[in-house]
């Protein structure tokens, strides 16, 4: 077979194996060998001295990103293309540095460098302004959660480490066979190598099976929850539907769900950005809040958690913040918030902090805000990026007269594992997620987002009540199992109970140890590589 055709076939196989775990249920195990074809292609290209051999990993990473996250283009073509190309470019840069390490480092060191560098990048990606960790390798098991119950100890980057250990182990075994080392090893060495590969691949699965079967749902009481899924097309919701119409639809759904139910404590949950008329300087002037309070007054014991675009007005001449916009003679700051209200005067608010670049967030504001203002003044094309402001620390919302603490991750926040541990550290005894995934249409995006919530349930060992504007809404238990869920693109309510727990997992207590250790290892190996590159005689 022509060598180039062989290389392209290996690249295509890697694309398939990398993509399927995000697209097809229960295929997460494919990620454990997904890099093997690409590693083989890279070695073959090096031996044959194929020109422009960087094209093969470039195509793999670009195709993987496109196949799994193309749906972002449904909401914004420019943003979707940027996410695909920018993410693939960073992956390619990691691969090129790995190839550089193969030139200067010996034995297994370049491969250890590759794994450590990749995981260090995934960890760093959680903290930068322009952040898109959707394809972090540990997320490959979001539809195979029974195999990763140990995420309560390691977090999702433990899955990334598993992926690299398995891929490098299988690849190393193939190299040993093809180069003749396997034949020269004695029986004990062969047995140890084979057993080692089996343990790397099967060991975590067996451990997870044990944890899953042995785990008992922790319950220090329960809370009745009703999730409202109003099913508004977002392209109509923000353009052609009045807020009064939307409020009437949602409250009617809740009315039907509560009909015949005995009066008592119940938490009603509505989706992200349900309303946009809440000014924090005078919240009681909001018609939506007035309608919600009147509704709750007819249902004693009920409280409602809902998403809102909220605003702070600053009546002063100087801007209070670089992200503030002029508002007549005043200034306004915008937030994407979760709001908890009762029938009287209770109003607790959490501001979303992990914001979507462009549609909510202006990244690196000291650079891009002045640029945006200049474009607006000179060319009339300002306002290219939204300027929502989050809060610096996680906080909880308190339900009922006992003040039961709930965490509320707003949409995009639910893909950040270590970030979500901060809700539990703040006291959250159960979790909620409010979101609006319909911007992407009936594509894999909303299913992927739902499944990432299952990973958060395992990491935190918290029940989750997830409310989507158009689905999928769901109740998820502490093992990441979906207990009940709504249908896509339907108007309905979902009723259930969430268990309360105050216990903290090892991941909550200690954070992302895997990511930190891999970052340190990467920095040490990078220092060695720099010495080999720039210090004469260091070979």
CATH number at residue 470: 3.60.110.10
Instruction: Tell me the β-bridge partners of 497.
Output: 224
Residue 90 CA from chain centroid, whole number: 18
Q: Dmax of the chain from CA atoms?
A: 83
- 182 shares a domain with 112: yes
> How big is the chain, counted in residues?
539
* 212 within some domain: yes
240-272 core/surface letters (b: 16 or more CB in 10 A; e: else): eeebeebbeebbebbeebbeeeeeeebbbbbbb
* 125 within some domain: yes
- 255 shares a domain with 121: no
Cα–Cα distance measured from residue 474 to residue 454, given in angstroms and rounded to the nearest whole number: 10
Reading the block at residue 268, the tokens are: 């009603």
- 212 shares a domain with 138: yes
* 54 within some domain: yes
How buried is 213 (Cβ within 10 angstroms: 0-12 exposed, 13-18 middle, 19+ buried)? exposed
- 30 shares a domain with 165: yes
- CA angle, 207 then 213 then 216, to 5°: 120
Number of domains in the chain: 2
Closest CA to 513 of 204, 160, 206, 139: 160
Question: How many other C-beta atoms lie within 10 A of the C-beta of residue 439?
Answer: 19
- 245 shares a domain with 122: no
- 212 shares a domain with 226: no
Q: What is the pTM of this model?
A: 0.95
* 95 within some domain: yes
Instruction: Tell me the β-bridge partners of 397.
Output: 406
* 371 within some domain: no
Residues 279 and 327 sit within 8 Å (Cβ to Cβ): no
What is the extent of the structural domain holding 304? 222-308+336-350+396-502
Structural element, H or E, at residue 139:
none
- 199 shares a domain with 122: yes
Query: In terms of DSSP bridges, do strands 266-269 and 482-485 run parallel, antiparallel, or are they unpaired?
Result: unpaired
- 238 shares a domain with 111: no
Q: Give the 3-state secondary structure of residue 391.
A: coil
Q: What is the full per-residue pLDDT of the chain (539 aa) written as tens digits?
A: 678 899 999 999 999 999 999 999 999 999 999 999 999 999 999 988 888 889 999 999 999 999 999 999 998 898 899 999 999 999 999 999 999 999 999 899 999 999 999 999 999 999 999 999 999 999 999 999 999 999 999 999 999 999 999 999 999 999 988 888 778 888 888 888 889 999 999 999 999 999 999 999 999 999 999 999 999 998 888 888 999 999 999 999 999 999 988 878 999 999 999 999 999 999 999 999 999 999 999 999 999 999 999 999 999 989 999 999 999 899 999 999 999 999 999 999 999 999 998 889 889 999 988 888 887 777 666 667 789 999 999 999 999 999 999 999 999 999 999 999 999 999 999 999 999 998 899 999 999 999 999 999 999 999 999 999 998 999 999 999 999 999 999 999 999 999 999 999 999 999 999 999 999 999 999 999 999 998 876 55
Cα–Cα distance measured from residue 194 to residue 180, given in angstroms and rounded to the nearest whole number: 16
* 196 within some domain: yes
Alpha-helix runs per DSSP H in 259-318: 287-297
Closest CA to 463 of 148, 214, 218: 218
């Amino acid at each position: 077979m022509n060598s180039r055709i062989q290389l392209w076939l290996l690249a295509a196989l890697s694309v398939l194996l990398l993509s399927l775990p995000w697209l097809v249920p229960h295929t997460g195990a494919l990620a454990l060998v997904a890099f093997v074809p690409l590693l083989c292609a890279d070695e073959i290209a090096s031996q044959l001295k194929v020109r422009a051999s960087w094209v093969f990993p470039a195509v793999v990473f670009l195709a993987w990103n496109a196949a799994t996250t193309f749906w972002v283009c449904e909401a914004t073509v420019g943003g979707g293309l940027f996410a695909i190309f920018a993410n693939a470019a960073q992956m390619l840069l990691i691969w090129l540095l790995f190839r550089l390490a193969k030139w200067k480092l010996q034995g297994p060191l370049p491969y250890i460098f590759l794994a450590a560098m990749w995981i260090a990048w995934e960890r760093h990606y959680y903290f930068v302004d322009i952040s898109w960790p959707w394809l972090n390798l540990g997320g490959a098991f979001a539809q195979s959660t029974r195999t990763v119950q140990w995420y309560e100890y390691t977090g999702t980057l433990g899955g990334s480490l598993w992926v690299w250990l398995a891929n490098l182990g299988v690849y190393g075994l193939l190299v040993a066979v093809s180069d003749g080392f396997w034949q020269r090893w004695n029986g004990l060495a062969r047995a140890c190598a084979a057993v080692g590969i089996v343990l790397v691949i099967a060991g975590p699965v067996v451990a997870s099976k044990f944890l899953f079967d042995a785990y008992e749902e922790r319950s220090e009481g329960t809370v009745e929850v009703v999730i409202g899924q109003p099913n508004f097309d977002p392209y109509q919701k923000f353009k052609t539907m009045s807020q009064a119409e939307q409020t009437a639809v949602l409250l009617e759904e809740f009315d039907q769900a509560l009909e015949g139910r005995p009066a008592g404590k119940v938490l009603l949950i509505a989706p992200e950005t349900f309303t946009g008329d809440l000014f924090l300087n005078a919240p009681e002037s909001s018609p939506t809040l007035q309608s919600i309070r009147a509704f709750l007054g007819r249902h004693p014991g009920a409280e409602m958690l809902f998403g809102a675009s909220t605003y702070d007005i600053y009546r002063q001449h100087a801007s209070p913040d670089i992200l503030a916009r002029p508002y007549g003679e005043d200034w306004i700051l915008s937030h994407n918030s979760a709001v908890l209200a009762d029938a009287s005067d209770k109003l607790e608010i959490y501001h979303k902090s992990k914001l979507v670049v462009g549609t909510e967030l202006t990244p690196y504001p000291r650079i891009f805000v002045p640029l945006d203002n200049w474009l607006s003044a000179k060319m009339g094309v300002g306002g290219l990026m939204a300027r929502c402001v989050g809060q610096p620390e996680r906080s909880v919302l308190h339900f009922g007269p006992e003040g039961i603490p709930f965490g509320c991750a707003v949409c995009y926040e639910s893909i950040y594992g270590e970030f979500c541990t901060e809700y539990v550290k703040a006291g959250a005894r159960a979790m909620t997620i409010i979101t609006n995934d319909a911007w992407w249409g009936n594509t894999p995006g909303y299913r992927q987002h739902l499944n990432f919530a299952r990973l958060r349930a395992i990491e935190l060992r918290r029940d989750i009540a997830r409310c989507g504007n158009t689905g999928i809404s769901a109740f998820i238990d502490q093992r990441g199992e979906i207990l009940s869920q709504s249908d896509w693109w339907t108007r309905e309510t979902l009723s259930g109970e969430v268990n309360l727990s105050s216990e903290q997992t090892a991941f909550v207590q200690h954070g992302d140890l895997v990511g930190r250790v891999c970052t340190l290892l990467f920095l040490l190996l990078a220092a060695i590589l720099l010495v080999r590159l720039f210090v004469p005689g260091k070979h």
